[in-house]
């Protein structure tokens, strides 16, 4: 994945809360274990995971990397070609430029969603989340949350090969949830949150498909500010790394790694094969209408 060196990045789409100590909440104990491991692989959205009683914490004090610093560090595509945080920002810009154009073409209006970068824990409208839940989208405040340390976990604990485009896939998956939020698809889940045929799995596979749709259009979507695509090239290797990442976060794979066996009754995101299949459907067709995982 290469970015146009000259392209301007829009840092206003990413809030940098890294290095802010605490999320305000004492979430007792370190009882993570197997449940924690499974939860960590979510790319999830389930606010219940964060503890429904949690209130978003008061604005924390302490030294943070201010947004001004991120915007100073990440000005152009050249920065995105060099630094991980700038790259994530650039992917957010590209993904949102695509959905903006797609919604407009369908006579809908897209509401941009910020990404929040955090370390360790973060206060959200869905409660206080720790890094253990993995990247997630909170419908309550319409933001995507990433601890960039997850990408190391993805390679070290989940066995993914990783790489910039594996990370881009994760970002695009979370924005897939934002698209679902805007389209009202999230309401289909209700309490049907577990099992191979659950609405939760269908929602997650659709987010993978939407990530593939963006991938299809990534090198041809012009940025509003420049009229040129921000991403200038994607290789077969990039696509292979996205598929490898999708495989690594399949429920069957995660459960096998954690417990030595897989239990489809507790799946929330779909199997490795399904996640690869739906990413591929989106990537091949470039058409969100083909992401009909709900059937
Ligand atoms: Zn998800």
What's the gap in Å between 240 CA and the centre of ligand 1? 20
pLDDT for 193 equals: 87
Q: What is the mean pLDDT of residues 228-242?
A: 98
Residue 187: pLDDT band (50, 70, 90) is confident
d(CA 32, CA 277): 31
What's the gap in Å between 137 CA and the centre of ligand 1? 8
Residue 68: pLDDT band (50, 70, 90) is low
pLDDT for 189 equals: 87
Q: Which helix (H) or strand (E) holds 181?
A: helix 164-183
What's the gap in Å between 44 CA and the centre of ligand 1? 4
User: Contacts by 221-226 with C-beta closer than 8 Å and gap 24+?
Assistant: 221/94, 221/97, 221/98, 221/101, 222/97, 222/101, 223/7, 223/8, 223/93, 223/94, 223/97, 224/97, 224/100, 225/8, 225/10, 226/4, 226/6, 226/7, 226/8
What's the gap in Å between 131 CA and the centre of ligand 1? 15
Q: What angle do CA 79, 236, 115 make, to 5 degrees?
A: 40
pLDDT digits (tens, 9 = 90+) for 141-150: 999 999 999 9
Q: How many CA atoms lie within 13 A of 40 on its CB side?
A: 25
What's the gap in Å between 6 CA and the centre of ligand 1? 32
What does residue 129 show for φ and ψ, rounded to 5 degrees?
-115, 145
What's the gap in Å between 145 CA and the centre of ligand 1? 12
Neighbours of 106 (CB within 10 A): 11
Of residues 249, 241, 242, the one with CA closest to residue 157: 249
Residue 25 has pLDDT above 70, yes or no: no
What's the gap in Å between 72 CA and the centre of ligand 1? 31
Question: DSSP letters of 195-206?
Answer: STTSHHHHHHHH
Say how many Å lie between the first and final Cα of the chain, rounded. Answer: 33
Report which of residues 60 and 223 the model is more confident about.
223
pLDDT digits (tens, 9 = 90+) for 210-227: 999 999 999 999 998 889
What's the gap in Å between 163 CA and the centre of ligand 1? 19
What's the gap in Å between 176 CA and the centre of ligand 1? 8
Residue 39: pLDDT band (50, 70, 90) is very low
pLDDT for 97 equals: 97
pTM of structure: 0.88
Q: What is the mean pLDDT of residues 240-260?
A: 93
What's the gap in Å between 5 CA and the centre of ligand 1? 31
Q: pLDDT averaged over the chain?
A: 86
What's the gap in Å between 209 CA and the centre of ligand 1? 11
Residue 190 has pLDDT above 90, yes or no: no
Residue 36 has pLDDT above 80, yes or no: no
pLDDT for 180 equals: 96
pLDDT for 51 equals: 40
pLDDT for 66 equals: 56
pLDDT digits (tens, 9 = 90+) for 94-114: 999 999 999 999 999 999 999
Q: Which helix (H) or strand (E) holds 130?
A: strand 127-130
What's the gap in Å between 40 CA and the centre of ligand 1? 12
What's the gap in Å between 105 CA and the centre of ligand 1? 25
Q: What percent of the chain has pLDDT over 70?
A: 84
Q: What is the mean pLDDT of residues 151-166?
A: 93
């Amino acid at each position: 994945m290469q970015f146009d060196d000259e392209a301007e990045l829009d840092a206003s789409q990413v809030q940098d809360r890294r290095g802010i100590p605490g999320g305000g909440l004492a979430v007792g104990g370190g009882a993570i274990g197997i449940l924690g491991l499974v939860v960590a692989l979510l790319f999830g959205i389930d606010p219940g995971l964060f503890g429904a009683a949690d209130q978003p914490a008061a604005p924390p004090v302490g030294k943070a990397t201010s947004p001004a610093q991120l915007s100073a560090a990440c000005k152009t595509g050249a920065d995105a070609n060099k630094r991980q945080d700038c790259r994530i920002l650039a992917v957010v810009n590209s993904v949102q430029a695509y959905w903006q154009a797609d919604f407009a073409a369908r006579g809908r209006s897209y509401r941009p969603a910020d990404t929040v970068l955090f370390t360790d824990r973060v206060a959200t409208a869905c409660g206080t989340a720790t890094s253990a839940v993995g990247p997630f989208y909170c419908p309550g405040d319409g933001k995507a949350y990433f601890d960039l340390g997850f990408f190391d976990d993805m390679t070290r604990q989940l066995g993914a090969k990783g790489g910039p485009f594996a990370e881009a896939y994760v970002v695009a998956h979370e924005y897939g949830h934002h698209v679902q939020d805007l389209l009202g698809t999230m309401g289909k889940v209700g309490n049907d949150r577990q099992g191979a045929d659950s609405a939760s799995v269908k929602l997650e596979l659709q987010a993978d498909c939407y990530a593939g749709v963006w991938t299809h259009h990534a090198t041809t979507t012009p940025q509003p500010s420049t009229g040129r695509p921000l991403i200038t090239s994607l290789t077969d290797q990039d696509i292979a790394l996205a598929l490898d990442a999708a495989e690594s976060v399949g429920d069957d794979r995660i459960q096998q790694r954690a417990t030595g066996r897989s239990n489809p009754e507790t799946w929330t995101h779909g199997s490795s094969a399904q996640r690869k299949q739906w990413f591929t459907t989106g990537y091949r067709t470039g058409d969100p209408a083909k992401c009909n995982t709900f059937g």
